[in-house]
Chains A and B, each alone.
Chain A
Amino acid sequence: MITLKNIEKVYQTKTIETVALHNVNLHIPKGEFVSVMGPSGCGKSTLLNIMGLLDEPTNGIVEIDGLPISRYKDKELAHIRNQKLGFVFQSYHLINDLSVLDNVELPLLYRTGVSAAETRRLALTALEKVGLSARTKHYPTQLSGGQRQRVAIARALIGQPEIILADEPTGNLDSVMGEEIMNILLNLNRHDGTSIVMVTHDENMAMKTERLIRFFDGQQVSDAKTSAYDYQKV
């Protein structure tokens, strides 16, 4: 699904040079739920941005479905993001001036050939999946943090992406709401076969995924199947 080869990311500012990622090699197969952990500033968000084609690596190759994307133009990258990727962020990134329904519909506005009626139908289905059918006409500011994150997940899954990239999706939530979000993601992974890469600071959350990658100072320090993996396969 996504393969990273020898990824290097260096942030160059006037005064200092930060190596955010160094020699990262990673393969995320289809249908896998991977969590990424590591101390603050170790490059987790940078990794997700590169996987999500939102940022370019300084060196190395990113392959989506076996195709290197290094020569792609902005328009083609946008197209791949729209077709194959879904994003969930710690701070939700909902548009406050749009209703819940309109927020969820957003990715399909950038997809050609989907009628307004079809978009609406898919948005309602997505909201149903995250249990927010009753809140379609609300605005983000009228929702709790957990509800907002569920809207963001609905938005990430409306386009039926192959992979969802979630950067600390439960970071702003208390443990109960975090649990809810985690369950939604797990369901998505099990029932729809969507691959998920999730950055988290929560060991318990990470243990529920199949594979855990640990980062330190821009480098992978470990990459292992979790006990949940064995449990799942049983």
Chain B
Amino acid sequence: MIRHLFKLIWNRKRSNFLLITEIFFCFLVLFAVLSLIVYNVRNYNKPLGFKHENVWLLTMRPDTDSTALNRQTLEQILQRTKGFQEIESVSLTNSNAPFAFSQMTTNLTYGQKEIKTDQFEVQDDFAEVMQMQVSKGRWFGPADNGAHHKPIVISKALERQLFEGEDPIGKVLPRNDSSSYQVVGVVDHYRPSSEYTAEEPAFFNRIYLPENEDEFYGEILMRVKPGMGVEFEERMVKALSGIGKGWTMEVATLEKMRQNKEKVSKVPMIALAIICGFLILNVALGLFGVLWYNINRRNSEIGLRRAVGASSSQVYRQFIGEVLVLATFGLVLGVAFAIQFPLLQVFDVESTVYFIALGIAVGMIYLLAVGCAFYPSRQAAAIHPAIALHEE
């Protein structure tokens, strides 16, 4: 019977061509959107590498251009923050704090390898503020004062790409003509951009104020005791504004920043899903309409099949089966096309993402097809054979 259905669909390929193309395109769009969603969801389920709860970000803008003066004030402010018993630990950072809309990349070379990587400038207490897990070596600290090489901590992702199995601890990497980095530790993960972003290679560069005299850092990350709210924030900002007179200060919780970032990541996904939904609805209506129309056109065939021994449920199954075969034709084309993405590695995305999306898309198309065929097929099965065979 299945062979019979394939033959029937094949012989009707000209009139089924439109439906098959429609299913083909519907599948491709579904596949694309699902790939994106699967990609995001998989990222979402991966560890961030840090704990953002109870971490605040203080952003400061000085009112003068004098770096020397600003540095003096900054150090006083930093000192003052450590004085609050509500604050557990603090670290200066560049503008690329977690969930911020800012990125800083550089290239690191080791032997013949050159890897593009995110760079984060932070202080010794950063590991404590963000509760990072150091899996190899150690975080940088006072022991590195006066070290010949600048100490860095790298992420596992960078370790994998740059060292490919070699032990990274102690390795010296060129920084510029006059100085170099030395790897002192490795952290498991660091994925600060957003929960939906894939992990990029990253390393942490030590801010040691006595040695970075001409630098200004405008952001302080601080871990506060649980339960701290607006009351403490106001008190703190007031106290700090007393030191940095005329400075603009802004406090944001990382949780708030995370939510902002989430919105920005979700909006295109939701928009795409809605567009995709409309497309599917459109295809569904088309499919439904054509099936409905076909049944009326195929009255004589239905009657004839009943006469030669098909039961009503066999007619029903035939019509459902035909739609499944039709969908299969469209899907074979679609899958042949979609499979190129993981095979050719068109984007730098794990193959698994594509395969999951492919599986779901195939399942959804079949469900869609059966869903659309359900009612028309029931109508077909309900047609009375004597009436269907009635001669005009």
Contact = CB atoms under 8 A, between A and B. Distances in A.
Interface of A: 45, 49, 52, 54-55, 74-75, 77-79, 81-83, 85, 87, 89-91, 93, 95, 97-98, 102, 106-107, 109-111, 116, 155, 159, 167-168
A95 B313 CA distance: 20
B306 interface: yes
B304 A54 contact: no
Contact of A111 (B8, B309, B313, B386): B309
A109 B386 contact: no
A102 B7 contact: yes
A93 B303 contact: yes
B313 A75 contact: yes
B235 interface: no
A95 B304 contact: yes
Interface in B352-385: 384-385
B15 to A, nearest CB: 9
A49 B8 CA distance: 27
Contacts of B307: 52, 54, 81, 85, 87, 93
Interface of B: 1, 3-4, 7-8, 11-12, 300-301, 303-314, 384-386, 389-392
A93 B4 contact: no
A43 B4 CA distance: 36
A110 B307 CA distance: 11
Contacts, number: 81
Contacts of A85: 307
A78 B314 contact: yes
28 contacts: A45-B391, A49-B386, A52-B307, A54-B303, A54-B306, A54-B307, A54-B385, A55-B384, A55-B386, A75-B313, A77-B311, A81-B308, A82-B308, A85-B307, A87-B304, A87-B307, A90-B391, A91-B300, A93-B304, A95-B301, A98-B7, A102-B4, A102-B7, A106-B305, A109-B4, A110-B308, A116-B3, A168-B391
Nearest to A82: B309
Contacts of A75: 311, 313
Contacts of A90: 391
Contact of A98 (B8, B310, B390, B391): B8
A216 to B, nearest CB: 20
B350 to A, nearest CB: 44
Q: State the 7 A-B residue pairs at the shortest beta-carbon distance, nearest first.
A: A82-B309, A78-B311, A110-B309, A55-B386, A107-B308, A97-B11, A49-B386
B203 to A, nearest CB: 66
B45 to A, nearest CB: 49
